[in-house]
Amino acid sequence: MTNPLPGILHSVQWQFSDGSKGYPVASDVVNQFRIQNVEVVRVRIPRVSKTQGVLVVGNKNGVRKTDALFLLPSSEGQSKDLDGASLSKAQTTGPVSVPDVGDVDIYTSADKMVCFIMSNREPSLREGVSSVRLASGVQAEFQSAQGVNSLWYPYGSRTFLVAGNADRSQLVSVANNYTPNRVFFSLEGLQGDGHGSVGT
């Protein structure tokens, strides 16, 4: 589907304390972006003002599956800025392993969302890719497509990806301040305390 959003929203059902049920709708979406073959959708939860949801949806062989649903405190009152200096104050989902994607962690501010992915797969390079040298001296590849900026670079035998609706300078600031070791507590499988397994 060109627009998978309706199916993604219908893959989650809210059950409220009074026994009623409901699905997220398009007007609940705070922000959404696609990274490689992964959709990340942040939604408000009706009648629950203090919590928001972040859905991570993978695409394997043309079939989309909601691999993870994170619950975060609402962005109300949060700073709108999200760069390397302010990221530590943002809400984070905490690292989890998402099938067919890799290790994922997502940080959110009032109106921005940055996703970190540690994957065994190399990103598929498209047109408009440019090189950026990070403060560490590492050369990263930068791309802007469909409202999403992304930076990636090899880390050992894996690929580290930083992406989101932050602008280029903010994303470079995030990449300079947040190394793979700082985002993921264990890079050797899922043995670190910061990881949890998520399935459907």
CB atoms under 10 Å from CB of 138, counted, come to 15
Residues 7 and 93 in one domain: yes
> What pLDDT is attached to residue 194?
36
Convert the pLDDT of each residue in 132-154 to its tens digit.
999 999 999 999 988 899 999 98
Shared domain for 21 and 83, answered yes or no, is yes
pLDDT at 142: 94
Residues 91 and 121 in one domain: no
Q: What is the pLDDT of residues 39-50, one digit of tens each?
A: 899 999 988 888
Q: Which of 75, 109, 143 is the last residue of a domain?
A: 109
Instruction: Please give the share of the chain, as a percent, with pLDDT higher than 90.
Output: 30
Query: Residue 83: inside a domain, yes or no?
Result: yes
pLDDT for 51 equals 87
Report pLDDT for 1.
Answer: 55
Task: Identify the pLDDT of residue 125.
Answer: 61
Report the domain count for the chain. 2
Q: Which of 34, 33, 8 is nearest to 23 (CA)?
A: 8
> Do the domain assignments include residue 43?
yes
For the chain, what is the mean pLDDT? 82
> 67: domain range?
1-109
Same domain, 8 and 95: yes
- Judgement on whether residues 21 and 85 belong to the same structural domain of the protein: yes
Residue 188 lies in a domain: no
**Residue found under tokens 């993921």:** 184
The residue whose two tokens read 């219908």 is: 10
Same domain for 11 and 57, yes or no, is yes
Is residue 132 located within the same domain as residue 97? no
Band of the pLDDT at 110, cuts 50, 70, 90? confident
Please indicate, yes or no, whether residues 126 and 35 belong to a single structural domain of this protein.
Answer: no
| Strand (E) or helix (H) holding 171 | helix 168-177
Residue 190, domain member (yes or no):
no
Say whether both 12 and 75 belong to one domain.
Answer: yes
Residues 71 and 19 in one domain: yes
Domain holding 116: CATH number? 2.60.120.1690
Evaluate whether residue 51 is within a structural domain: yes
pTM for this model (two decimals):
0.82
CB-CB contact of 8 with 64 (8 Å): yes
For range 14-43, the mean pLDDT: 90
pLDDT of amino acid 188: 42
Domain shared by 9 and 99, yes or no = yes
Cα separation, 186 vs 65, in Å, equals 26
In a domain, 141, yes or no: yes
Last-in-domain residue among 109, 144, 172:
109
193 occurs within a structural domain:
no
Could you tell me the end-to-end alpha-carbon distance of the chain, in angstroms, rounded to an integer? Answer: 21
State pLDDT tens for residues 152-170. 998 888 899 999 998 999 9
Find the mean pLDDT for residues 107-120: 88
d(CA 50, CA 73): 6
Residue 92, pLDDT > 90, answer: no
Lowest pLDDT segment from 17-21, 59-63, 162-166, 192-196? 192-196
pLDDT digits over 98-108, tens only? 877 888 899 88
Do 32 and 67 lie in one domain? The reply is yes
